Every structure is written in C-alpha cells, then in structure tokens.
Amino acid sequence: MERHASSVGSTIRAYLPPLVGRERELALARDLLARPDVRLVTLRGPGGIGKTRLALDLFERVAADFDLGAVWVDLAPLREASDVLPKIASALKSDASTAVSLADAIAETIGARGILVVLDNFEQVVDAAGDLGDVLARVPGLRVLATSRVALRLRGEHVIPIGPLELPRDDKTNRECAAVRLFVERVEAVEPQFKLTSSNCTAVEGLCEQLDGVPLALELAAARLRVVPLEGLLTWLDHQLDVLADGPRDGPHHGASLRETIAWSYDLLTEGERDVFRACGAFVGGFTLPALEAVCDRAAVRGALIRLVEHSLVQSAQGPEPRWRLLEPIREFAEELLGANEAEVMRARHATFFLRLAESSEGYGELLHPEWRARLAVEDANLHAALEWLLKARRASESARMVLALGRYWGHDMTPRRHAWLTRVRALPDLRAHPDLHARILAQLGLMATILKRFDEAREALQAALELFRAASNKESEAYTLMSLAHVYSRTGDHEHALRLAFEQEALARSMNDAQMLQTVLNVIAVLYMRLDQPALAVPYLDEGRVLCETLPYESGAAFAIGIRGWVAYLLGRPEESFSLLQEAWRRAANVPNALLRFTLLHMIAFHVRDDGQFELAAKMVGCGEAMRTRSGEPWDVCFERHARQIDEDLKVKLGAAYQAAWTLGRTLEFDEVSAEVHAWLEAHESKAARSGPRAPKREEGMLRADLAGLTMREKQVLALVAQGHPDRRIAKLLDISPTTVSKHVSNMLSKSGLRNRTELAYWATGQ
C-alpha cells in the first residue's frame, strides 16, 4: 500500500483559515494519538462546535508520524451502518475481491504498518461502531480519530469533549479570548476595515456571549455584517436561527445554516427523546432533572436526558446540584419546535415548578439561608421567565405569590426591578378577588416606593394595605404596615406622625409578644429619633433591640442595631465605644449579604479611618460604598445623608487631587476586596488602642445609660417628646393618653433622675 499524505482532504483544508483557540484539545489529541496503547480517539461535541475543523488540523499535523500517513473518510453522505466499512476500504484502496471479509481486506492492506484513519461525522452511522471495533482488533497499527456528536462506546475509546470557544473573562482582555478572536478574524474577511476598538469591544463581547461561543454561529454572524452594523446585529440575534443562515457552501459543517446543523442531530433522536428535547426549550439558563421531569410529565425522562447528553445536544452545567443546559442556538431550536398548545402546557408546568421552588425557600427575617440563595441564584433566569409568563397569562394569584416568594431573594439589591414587578401584579384585574394577596402586594409596593422616594405612591398603597389588613384582623401585617407608613411620614418630614405610628406598632408587638417585630420597631424608633437629631434618645431602643437580637436568628437585625448604636456613640463624642461597636457590626455584616447594611457600615467606619489619618483608605471605602449604594438603587437615609456629604467633602480637602483617584479606585473594587483592607485596619487600630490602655468612662455617660435603662418604655416615649419641647397636651395627643397621665410620667422621671424640672430633664435626656 502506498503512503497517504496529508494532501488527502486538501480540497477542504486549502480554503480554511487558521484554527483559532483549541490549544488544549489539540495538545491532548496529539498526545493520545502518539501513545501506542491508544487506538481510538473521538472528538465529541454538538453540531457547529468545530469538531471537523479541529480534526482537519490534527490530520495535517500528525500524518507524517505514521508509516502510511493518514486517510480522511467523510461519513456525512452515509445513512446505513453497513456502508461504513466499504467506505473505509475504498479510501484505503483495499482489494476486497480476494478477502474473506472487508475487515480482512483492510487488515491485509495495512499489514503491520501504522496509519491514521480519520472518520468524520460518525453519529448518523454509530451502529457501525461494532464493525470498526472488529477492524481495530485485527489491525494493531491502525489508529482512528473520529468526530461525532455521540461517543462510539467501544472499549479503549478516549473521548475528548469539544465545547464552545472561551468567552470573555474579567482576567483576560477581549483580544486574548478565543471567541472574540474568531469573530474578529471572520469579520475582517468580509469587512477589511473592521478593527476591534474600545468603542465596539463591549458589543463584540456581548455578541460572543449571546452566541455561547459556538464557532459556526460566530462565523455566520460575522458574515451578516455585510448587511447590518454590529449594533443592529445584536438586536437581530433575538432570533438567532433566522439570522444565522446562508453560510459558506464549502467547509466542514452540514448545511448552510445553523438551523440545518442542529436539525441534523435532532433527526437522529427517537420520538421520546425528541419530546424531552423540546421540553428543554422551556428553560432559560439550564435545568435540574426534577425540573425537567415536572415540565415533561412523562416516564423515562432520565434515560432520554442521558441520550441527549450523549448526542451533544445537552451540556452539563455548574450549580449547587446536578444541572444541564442547552447552548443558546440549540435552546432556541428546541423552543421553536414547540407548537402553540404544547408550549402553553409546558410553560404552565414550568411556572408551577418554579413557583413551588420559590415558595419552599427557607430563611430567617429578611434573609435567605445561604444554600437557598445559591439554589435560587442559579435559577434566576427561570424564575423570572416563569414570573413573566404568569403575568402575561394574567394569573393574578400565582403572579402575586411568585413576587412575594422572591422578596427575600431580591432583597435590597433589586429595588427598582422589584417595584416594577409589583406594579405589574397590582394592575392585574383579578387580584382583588384575593384580598390577602392584594394587601401583601400593596404593602410591598409601598415599601419599594418609599425606598425610591415615590412617597405619594407609597402612602396611598400602604394606607390601602392597612385597611385590608385591619378588615381581616391581621394584627401582624397591620403592625408591619404601620412601620412602613411611619417611614413614609418621616421621609417627608412629618416625624411626629411617624413616631405616633411607630409607638402604635410597638404596642401591637408587645401585645402579641412578637420579639422579632418588637426588635424591628425598636430600630425604627431609634432611627426616627436620629432623624429628629436626638441620637441620645435612640440609645435605649437600640440597646433593647440588640438584646432581643441575641435571642433571634436575625444576624442582619443585630448587625444593623449594633452599627447604628456605634454611630450614635460617634455622634455623642464617644469614639472608643463607637469603634468597638462598629467593629462588632462589621464582623457580623461579613456573614450577611445585605448591600444596604454593608455600604452604610463602610461609610460609618470611614469616619474612624479618616480620624486615624488614613485618608486614602477612607476615600476608597467611600467610593466602594457609594458604588454599592448606586447599584442597589437605595437613597441615603435622611439621618445619614448630610454625614455622607460631610466625609466626602472633608476627604477632598485632606487629599486634594489624590482624592478623585482613590475614590474612583474604590468604585471599581468589589466589597470583598475593600473588606480585606478594612479588616486589616480594624485589627491594627484595636492593637494600638489596647497598647494605650482603656479610657475611663465619663461619669455622666454612665449615669445617663443607667438612668435611662431604669425608665419604662412609656416614660421613654414621653421623655423623647419632652426633649423636643412639646407641652403635655401635645404629648398626650401624640401618644393617645390624657395630659394628667403625661404629668404623672414626667413626675416619675424627675424622681428617678433626681432632677428638678422639665428643662433639666430635657437637657439631661439629650446628653448635652
């Protein structure tokens, strides 16, 4: 037999541009083919992923390593497994006329010499794998490199998975990324003037991610730039299969469009496997086996999924539990196959499954358990797709349940988006038929509107919710709605009304013996006093709230109470006490993924860092905190807004021109990056304070804390209003008690404190 050179298949190879990426797969395949114990290597992956292109490059590189060179055998035209050996024999020019069988003829042709046979597109004739195994057993010098969408499942087979090209990552530039490099090279072939620049790199990166790094999709997209600019192409890719057609007439893929390439694999499936494949199109971003079984609602889903993975139509995905996904072009193909009736049925099942998942999530207070946060985060796209479908289907109760169930997952980091969802649910006409859900949606909408400073909308929604809760005798929800209304009135400057509502909620919480609600309202009352610029009166409420937190699984509430308590100490001129409290709050906040808590503590501790002379670190902390606040959509609370401006302006003076650079650097850093520096400063400052020795507390500070702690809660409420200068009649009206009762409380407080009159009482209460 004459030597076969790499010129076999050169008709295709001569027109192909250089291979982009695949360095790891190329090296692995070459190493395997060089090993004498490896007889069969299979490049497995979905259509359009670049298996044939990689095989061509290998074919050219390793042909010289074999005695008889290499032979390329294209199996794409074949449909019958029985035609495979004749095709191989023909390529080897074997004489079958005198041999007992084709396997014998191939064995006689090769003899004891070495040869590489490349079998391209084995998937549609995979039943011929047994015949190939027989030939491999007879011919020791034969090496086979196969490309296939399914593994051949022969003993000794080495499978190399071929996945999408590398997508842009934070630690690599666009030009280093294989997907971007391929796209840019193909664009330059049709538009020679095109260059990757800072102005278009974001669009190119987005396109590569949208196409999941599939080489054929990237090549077809590049060709489309003949007729549409890059920004327009990104919009067109909402319908990838319609756009990515009319590919090159030559080349290593099947058909002229992405749709035809995927259809090639789909046609090889059984009817049951096709049913499950179409169901995969109902998911966005991946799925678990229980989710797929729920959407399919049929037997043997697991087996069909295994076959879909074997056919490279479904890929393994990352997640806290076993998970799979479809590359985006394949997902669109699966979705396209769903008929109108089948699509509605599957989307309804999809929505039901993810509603149940959201409602079964567990947490404490406003926070999810970390494992549940991870589980919902990986399903983010599916959860929002389910909610979108429920809204479009006008399923009021299910839409409301989904929005409410996702509240803890969204938290404070998605306020504008959460407000938009709640607004859409409220507009559903059938929501009023479910008064409890209606009231809860109104309450949540009012809370989000308050955060976004839409106070008229917030007041209207919360008042409507309050009436519904009172009509249903729902005391707990009534109490929390009172707290939300108190926020609205306070944010619009009516702090007296806010305090009256907060005291009303406090009374409800105590009557219900609800420790968590009481802890929350105590924090609210404390903040209201701070908004009244009376931080000393916030102290007893924060201290009681902190004690309650220690009995509750509510780390966020504890960190908040301790942090605010530390800030109050700073405002009252007690820096050592403030530092100790803020350090504890910071330690607790490390375990609480609450953006509001974290960026507030960053700013509070930045005051201490500034006072320590570490101006650049303080500026970075302020920059990072401000970036977090902006992303969350949260405005500064009125009690802290002026302080945030103050430190910003002060650091500008301290640092001069260097401030902007440090502040900008802070904005680019993640919380964890800044957190490491803050932690180091806290430890260093603590060590320095320990070396200098403890400071003896001022006598009046100890007296103030001890005496305030001895007052009843009603006396503290009266004291707060006395400190504001209100007469007894006004206090009685605010607290809904008689003027005589107010006078009695004032007399009791004078007796307990040893003071002589209201003026001294007010002066003492404010700590002046």
* Residues 13 and 147 occupy one common structural domain: yes
Residues 77-118 have pLDDT tens digits of: 888 888 899 888 888 888 776 667 888 888 888 888 899 999
Question: Which of 248, 268, 288 corresponds to the end of one domain?
Answer: 268
pLDDT reading at 706 higher than 60: no
Contact assessment for residue 180 and residue 194, using Cβ atoms and an 8 Å cutoff: no
Judgement on whether residues 13 and 139 belong to the same structural domain of the protein? yes
Residue 521 lies in a domain: no
Distances (CA, A) of 78 to 75, 249, 306, 312: 5, 19, 25, 20
Write the pLDDT tens digit of every residue in 491-541.
888 988 998 899 999 989 999 998 888 888 988 888 888 888 888 788 888
pLDDT value for 478: 94
pLDDT of residue 365: 60
Q: How confident is the model at residue 2 (pLDDT cuts 50, 70, 90)?
A: low
Local confidence band at 274 (pLDDT 50, 70, 90 cut-offs) = very high
Model confidence at 554: pLDDT above 80 = no
User: 482 and 388 in one domain?
Assistant: no
CA 534 distance to own-chain centroid: 40
Range(s) of the domain holding residue 442: 434-513
Same domain, 605 and 470: no
Higher-scoring residue by pLDDT: 585, 242: 585
Query: Percentage of residues in the chain with pLDDT exceeding 70?
Result: 90
Secondary structure of 311-329 in HEC code, one letter for each residue: CCCCEEECCCCCEEECCHH
CA pair distance 703, 753, nearest whole angstrom: 9
Mean pLDDT of 629-650: 87
Number of Cβ within 10 Å of residue 496's Cβ equals: 18
pLDDT recorded at residue 659: 92
* 8 A C-beta contact, residue 647 and residue 618: yes
> Which one is predicted more confidently, 457 or 52?
457
Average pLDDT over the chain, rounded to an integer: 85
Write down which residue in 127, 161, 195 finishes a domain.
Answer: 161
11 and 91 housed in the same domain = yes
Rounded to whole angstroms, the Cα distance separating 44 from 51 reads 7
Same domain? For 625 and 740 the reply is no
Does residue 136 form part of some domain?
Answer: yes
Residue whose token pair is 């609370």: 637
Evaluate whether residue 531 is within a structural domain.
Answer: no
**pTM for this entry:** 0.63
Q: Are both 171 and 213 inside the same structural domain?
A: yes
**Per-residue pLDDT at 251:** 54
Instruction: Give the count of domains, the chain.
Output: 7
Give domain status of residue 1, yes or no.
no
Q: Which residues, including other chains, have CB under 8 Å from residue 475's CB and lie 6 or more apart?
A: 508, 512
Q: 365 vs 342, which has greater pLDDT?
A: 342
- The predicted-structure confidence for 159-184, as pLDDT tens digits, reads as follows 999 988 888 876 555 567 889 988 88
- Return phi, psi of residue 193, to 5°: -80, -10
> Is 579 within a domain?
no
Asked whether residue 693 carries a pLDDT value surpassing 70, the answer given is: no
Residue at 213 is within a domain: yes
Note the pLDDT tens digit of each residue in 737-750: 888 888 888 888 88
CB 49, CB 83: distance < 8 Å: no
Report if residue 184 sits inside a domain.
yes
Same domain, 370 and 465: no
Residues 379 and 466 both lie in one domain: no
How many Å is the Cα radius of gyration of the chain?
Answer: 35
Mark whether 647 and 688 lie in a shared domain: yes
Helices (H) and strands (E) in the chain, counts: 40, 9
Q: Does 249 have pLDDT greater than 60?
A: no
* Residue 218, pLDDT score: 85
Q: 281-337, pLDDT tens digit by residue?
A: 999 989 999 999 999 988 889 999 998 988 888 988 888 889 999 888 888 889 888
Domain identity same for 33 and 66: yes
Model pLDDT, residue 579: 93
Q: List, in sequence order, every residue forming a beta bridge with 235; answer none if it has no partner.
A: none
Residues 226 and 108 in one domain: no
Query: Where does residue 705 rank: exposed (0-12), middle (13-18), buried (19+ CB within 10 A)?
Result: middle
pLDDT confidence of 246, banded at 50, 70, 90?
low
Residue 475 belongs to domain with CATH number? 1.25.40.10
Domain-embedded: residue 550 = no
User: Average pLDDT, stretch 689-711?
Assistant: 52
Report pLDDT for 106.
Answer: 87
Task: Please identify, among 283, 318, 338, the residue that sits at the C-terminal boundary of a domain.
Answer: 338
Q: What CATH number corresponds to the domain at position 332? A: 1.10.10.10
Give me the pLDDT at residue 605, please: 95
Q: What is the mean pLDDT of residues 573-600?
A: 88
| Greater pLDDT, 264 or 577 | 577
Q: What is the mean pLDDT of residues 626-654?
A: 88
Query: Tens of pLDDT along 590-618?
Result: 877 788 889 999 999 999 999 999 999 99
Flag whether pLDDT at 629 surpasses 50.
Answer: yes
Q: Does residue 327 contact residue 214 with C-beta atoms inside 8 Å?
A: yes
- Other beta carbons less than 10 A from residue 699's beta carbon: 8
CATH number of residue 14's parent domain: 3.40.50.300
Q: Is the pLDDT of residue 557 over 60?
A: yes
Residues 6+ apart with CB under 8 A from 520: 480, 483, 557
The mean per-residue pLDDT over the stretch 691-702 comes to 48
pLDDT at position 14 is: 46
